[in-house]
A and B are shown apart, each in its own frame.
Chain A
Amino acid sequence: AQKVTQAQTEISVVEKEDVTLDCVYETRDTTYYLFWYKQPPSGELVFLIRRNSFDEQNEISGRYSWNFQKSTSSFNFTITASQVVDSAVYFCALSIIPPGAQKLVFGQGTRLTINP
């Protein structure tokens, strides 16, 4: 079975601070995808990034960066120079590359509040 743990339930920082959201996953499969989704106050679930287990290169997209480390089964998400609009619940998720299960297994989410 797969499991995703987001140990940080809530984080609150002041605008312009950097913040890292932790994600630890468990799976016996050797091929899988990892995802981050954002759920803003409006409630929709917005896709941010997908990484596959073959590629441990870190990725940067503007103020967002992701650190994937298979050795520690972690896929952490850093927001640099945070802004109020970054306030949301962030979910980390895992899916197995076929022929395994197609479903996404989500963590419980981290509620991030950016204060002005």
Chain B
Amino acid sequence: GAGVSQSPRYKVTKRGQDVALRCDPISGHVSLYWYRQALGQGPEFLTYFNYEAQQDKSGLPNDRFSAERPEGSISTLTIQRTEQRDSAMYRCASSLEGQADTQYFGPGTRLTVL
């Protein structure tokens, strides 16, 4: 079946602009996670949802970052007033249950802030 999909795959924006990154999880997966991966580093947790409820947002770096999953399926990660330090690969993952089940990752969105 289809895996996790993310769009856009690449996003180049100017400093100060808002961006919205989309994640479509594997069908039937209850939990959805967002991670950020800087070049040469491992992914770092941002936030996660069970169904539509945001369970943990402790990894969001500041209040310019927000995420939603209004219908318990597709999720959007929004970065307001982007800064150059926001440039990274943003990865979405989903899992079958919210019980530390295996997380399957999408291809990521490469964000470049000029």
Chain A bound to chain B: yes
Q: Which residues of A contact B (CB under 8 A)?
A: 4, 33, 35, 37, 43-47, 50, 91, 93, 95-98, 101-109
B91 within 8 A of A: yes
A2 CB → nearest B CB, Å: 11
Taking the closest CB of chain A, its distance from the CB of B73, in whole angstroms, is 18
B43 A106 Cβ-Cβ under 8 A: yes
Q: Are A91 and B42 in contact (CB under 8 A)?
A: yes
**Cβ contacts under 8 Å, B48 to chain A:** 102-103
Picked from A37, A44, A91, A97, the residue with its CB within 8 Å of the CB of B100 is A97
The number of inter-chain residue pairs (CB within 8 angstroms) is 62
Give the total of B residues in contact with A, Cβ under 8 Å.
Answer: 26
Does B99 sit within 8 A of A, measured CB to CB?
yes
Contact with A along B100-114 (1 / 0, CB 8 A): 101111111000000
Does A45 lie within 8 Å of B43, measured CB to CB?
A: yes
B42 engages A102 (CB within 8 Å): no
Nearest chain B CB to A66's CB is how many angstroms away?
15
* CB contact under 8 A between A103 and B45, given known A96-B100, A97-B100: yes
Report the minimal beta-carbon distance from A64 to chain B, rounded to whole angstroms.
16
B41 interfacial contact with A, CB 8 Å: yes
